Structure 1
Amino acid sequence: MSKSYDDSYKPKTIFTTQKIILISLGWALLALLYFLLFSAKIPGPNGQEIREAWYLLGTNIFEASAYLGASVLCWRNWQSTQIISSRKVWLFIGLGMLAYFIGGIIFGYIEIGLGQEPDVSIADVFFVMTYLFLGTGMALALFSRRINLEKWQWLIVFAIGALGSFVAWFISQQNQGPSAELAPLWQQIKMVLDWFYVVSDVLLLIIATIMLLAFWGGKVSLSWRMIAAAAFSLYIADMWFKYATNYLLDYQSGDILEVFWVFSGVLFGMGAALEYEASLSLKRRTSGRKRT
């Protein structure tokens, strides 16, 4: 096999997989430092401790950039004819990342720009779409391969699913009811949304656990370990936010554990980039064997 033939499969772009991974890790590290250094509250006008608006804006920028980047990388996989896994998987995951990006932008504008904390907003439409698209994409990734777990592995899935369900149930027991100012219809919508998010988080946690165990081992599976880790990070951030809003008095966004939302977006993007690189490498090896 000639070197020129092998080079023809290399992507003609300055953003190689190695650079994407380094940028992603750097972005996650910067986000962690940002949360650690600037998340402290300061005295507000009424004696109540608050976080600066510029800090909250920064957290939204870190989060939005991570999910927007992940959606672009997922769509690159969807458009590639050489991708190993089903292209529909990356289409749905990419749509989920975009929906979360849009929802986060809207939520940030309402919270920071308008200074409001509504029980239900247009951002919830996009967050619901996120779970639907993301759950569909991850489920398709599992169904596209034959799952053959050992009994002890299914016990791990059951244990993590049970633990995740218990944590979600325990946190939801102190679920704050919708504001009395809301119309009865919106109060019902608020209750449905609360349980939808909780159930969706648990289902994604279970899917991620199965994915982590089923795809363990081998270079190609590394991308799916990143996707599973991204789902775990999303669960941690969501559960913390729900716990904080239910149990902590006058909770304000921007606490340190919310950095896991940034980690989740970064890991989804890294998973997509690693899958793209693995697909190109497999294509080059396969073509090389045909030429010899």
Structure 2
Amino acid sequence: MSSSYKDSYRLKSLFTNQNILLASIGWAVLALLYFLLFSAKVPGADGVESRAEWYVIGTNIFEAFAYLGAGILCLRNWRSPQIVSSRNVWLAIAIGMLSYFLGGIFFGYTEIILNEEPDVSIGDVFFVLTYLSLGAGMILAVASRRINLEKWQWLIVLAIGLFGSLLAWWISMQQATSTELLATILNWFYVVSDVFLLIIATTLLLAFWGGRVAQSWRMIAAAAFSLYIADMWFKYAQGPNYQSGEILEVFWVFSGVLFGMGAVLEHDASLSRNRRERGRKRA
């Protein structure tokens, strides 16, 4: 057995779906502990309380690796001919994850390195692409399967959509209106996109409840809920005294982790399904 074959075998045995899931859960737990333990503000030389720069850098690292990992795992599903769901669904979600990764990098660079907080930055280009790609992917997921919800399930979707819209509207009304037209347009684009993803996520959660393959879409729905929570908190907390690193911002990390876990569960379920089908053919 050649050394290259041994190395390849070790890598495959290391990066199993089970190990990736455990690593994802571990990353989320570490992020939560990091936010809980180190998010407190400390007095600076000028007497103003602020968070340590190393802490803010750490939050960006947790978030970046969560979305980068999710993007790679979604691309793996897109490249797999055995995947159960449409491969275009996973391509769209992968683009969304990688776009969010890049947007976070630019946002962190602007905030930490340049010490600026502009209303509009180059990171917004990638964040807009994220919402467009995620929306397209989740619409494709819904369109690829028949959605037969009961009346009470549609009422749940309506109630959550209404609650999400009212909360987003109330938070938006509490904020000072930007003088920049582009900033105002982006602000409402993010609000509408968050509510839209929340409604689609609720629909997916109810439609795919039950069955092993449905586990992946429960994770995707939970990821969309986490993204909504983090975005709404960020919008609510913004102001002259805002500083990155509040505890609820950990939901951005959770969102990336959950998207990645959804991709892994879909990949694992697809492999299991194909093995069962091959077994029946042999029989």
TM interval, shorter chain, is over 0.9
State the shift of 1:174 in Å: 1.8
Instruction: After TM superposition, give the deviation of residue 13 of structure 1 in Å.
Output: 4.8
Aligned-partner Cα distance in 1 for 2:60–2:275 = 40
| Partner amino acid, structure 2, of 1:146 | R
Letter in 2 for 1:169: W
Q: CA deviation at 1:118?
A: 0.8
Residue identity matched to 2:257: V
Moved over 3 A (4+): none
Q: TM-score w.r.t. structure 2 length?
A: 0.95
Q: CA deviation at 1:139?
A: 0.8
Q: Which residue of 1 aligns with 2:145?
A: 145
Give the distance between the partners of 2:12 and 2:241, measured in 1 at CA: 51
Aligned position for 1:288: 279
Aligned to 2:262: 271
Deviations 1:211-242 (A, max 9, x none): 00000001110000000000000000000000
Name the residue aligned to 1:33: 33
Q: What is aligned with 2:190?
A: 197
1:224 paired with 2:227, answer no
CA deviation map 1:55-92 (0-9, x unaligned): 00000000000000000000000000000000000000
1:12: how far off?
Answer: 4.3
Displacement of 1:176 after TM fit? 2.2
**1:251 to partner: Cα distance:** 1.3
Distance in 2 (CA, whole Å) between partners of 1:75 and 1:216 is 25
Q: What is the RMSD of the two structures over their aligned residues, measured on CA atoms?
A: 1.1
Alpha-carbon distance in structure 1 between the residues aligned to 2:13 and 2:105: 29
Q: Work out whether 1:215 is the aligned partner of 2:215.
A: no
Q: CA deviation at 1:46?
A: 2.5
Query: Which residues in structure 2 correspond to 1:169-188 (within 5 Å)?
Result: 169-178=169-178, 187-188=180-181
Aligned partner of 1:85 in structure 2 is 85
Aligned mates of 2:228, 2:17 — CA distance in 1: 27
Return the alpha-carbon distance in structure 1 between the equivalents of residues 265 and 148 of structure 2.
Answer: 24
Match of 2:54 in 1: 54
Cα deviation, residue 44, structure 1: 2.0
2:232 aligns with 239
Distance 1:139 1:63 in 2: 25
Number of aligned positions between the proteins: 273
Corresponding residue for 1:18? 18
Displacement of 1:32 after TM fit? 0.2
Tell me: CA distance 1:116–1:218, structure 2 relative to 1, closer, same or farther (3 Å): same
AA at the equivalent of 2:197: L
Task: Provide structure 1 residue ranges, at least 5 long, that are not aligned to the other structure.
Answer: 1-10, 180-186
Partner Cα distance (1:176, 1:143) in 2: 39
Query: Residue type matched to 1:268 in 2?
Result: F
Q: Using the alignment, how far apart are the partners of 1:287 and 1:209 within structure 2?
A: 34
Find 1:251's aligned residue among 225, 242, 258. 242
Partner deviation per Cα, 1:93-126 (whole Å, 9 max, x = no partner): 0000000000000000110011111111000000
* Structure 2, unpaired ranges of 5+: 1-10
C-alpha separation in 2, matches of 1:108 and 1:287: 48
* C-alpha separation in 2, matches of 1:238 and 1:16: 32
Percent of aligned positions that are identical: 70
Q: Secondary structure at the match of 1:173?
A: helix
Tell me: CA distance 1:26–1:12, structure 2 relative to 1, closer, same or farther (3 Å).
closer
What residue identity is the alignment partner of 1:289?
R
Mapped to 1, the partners of 2:264 and 2:220 lie a distance apart of 11
Q: Which residue of 2 aligns with 1:182?
A: none
